[in-house]
Structure 1
Amino acid sequence: MKDYLEIANSPLIWGAAIPITLLVVIQAIIFLKRAYASAHLVDLSTEDAHRAFKIGAVSAIGPAMGVFVVMLGLMAVIGGPLAWMRLSIIGAAPTELAAASMAAKAMGKELTSPEYGLLDFANATWVMGLNGAAWLLSTALFTHKIEGVTHKISGGDPKKVKILMIAAMCGAFGYLFGNVLKNILDAKTQPIAVAGISSAIAIYFLEKLSKRIPKLGEYNLGIAMLIGMFCAVAFKRLI
């Protein structure tokens, strides 16, 4: 039942999402003003600050495209307001997608399941919100201790920290995709498996190509997801 999308895209939900997103804009303006005001402390001229801002804005386009592609996918399931709001304040597209998927699995359904309904949508709002709240709470309570813990774990080697972070992410998303592959013979999950496999193949070759064209690396996530979506749609229509 897709009737829940009428509520998910209702003016009331938009009204709840817009103020939160506006706070992000206000914070960005405050940070920008303080950065300009503090430029002289590191011997940056106003011209240098303007140039740095332009470089940062341009370099952010690539990662933003990956987030935008994920938002389009989330909008089809959880509606525009929640997807827009979550990715505006968090910006971690894979994390928000994983939270929505886990919320659906907790209800015994898939994120794209035809049975996905209003109760599942409500559950997704809680899971995504609590996930973000946990980040904020952890930041407030443990930021001052992270440096010491990181040093103990890595032995002072930042490369080990990166390896641990990547391993944790691979484990989390590997678990989610593993459940899809486990049921690959099921006609309902086959398009999802095709999307994941084709995206994995695409990202492999895109990473190879981005070594020759470094600027392409910023767009790899978005391109791979588009390829996965296209392959899944093509597979579903052909098979």
Structure 2
Amino acid sequence: MTSKELQSFLDEKVELYNRPKFITTDPIYIPHQFQKKEDIEIAGFLIATIAWGNRKSILKNGQKLLQILDYEPHDFILNHTKNDFKACDGFVHRTFNAEDLKYFLTALKSLYQKYESLENIFAQHLPEKNLQESVHHFKQEFFSLPHQKRTEKHVSDPLKKSAAKRINMYLRWMVRQDSKGVDFGLWTKISPSQLSCPLDVHSGRVARKLGLLNRKQNDAKAVLELDNNLKKLDPKDPVKYDFALFGLGVFEAF
């Protein structure tokens, strides 16, 4: 397959899978229940954090998160007290438990009081080519309050070789300008060209079969390799191909 043929093939798959009809079966459905920017970015961050494993379980626990937040994420984050944390008791999604959630809510309150938006945190350390350094600094800021060491594993750090799949997915949601109405495009201080593809088992397998990725491990180096190859196909919106790679892997068993 030539480069032009590959681009044409992937563009067709983007057109097929970048559609609102898939929203209700995807974690992005959770923030799509809101209109306010801050509600969307808070709900999006929390559901992206637990977005691994069975999709039905992710969505079910995502709805539990919204219930804990009284379906007003921004208001809850700004105004909650420790007494409100009782609603967190018993929450668990795989290894993410109630204590992790309580810290996340505490950290988010601190960050919103200081920065007003999560966008401002990522934008303050903005490298030219990609956001991996921004993700690293975000994690440092996020865990600047006293916390259990185990909670740190729920935010990945690409500077420690992680593919950071969930945080890159979240950034795609917030930054990518999407005429189809799937991704939100709420954050304007970051360019879609700086986004990295959310690399997981499915997208990695498809990318290797298509010759877009040679590295065997799904790690930070693989993300960089895939990003560089996707930018050759579309330098302005490379992560649109996440829809194609994921769709081919999950829905077509490519």
Fold match, TM over 0.5?
no
Determine which structure has the larger helix proportion and give its number. 1
- Normalised by the length of structure 1, the TM-score is 0.35
- Normalised by the length of structure 2, the TM-score is 0.33
* Larger Rg, first or second structure (1 or 2): 1
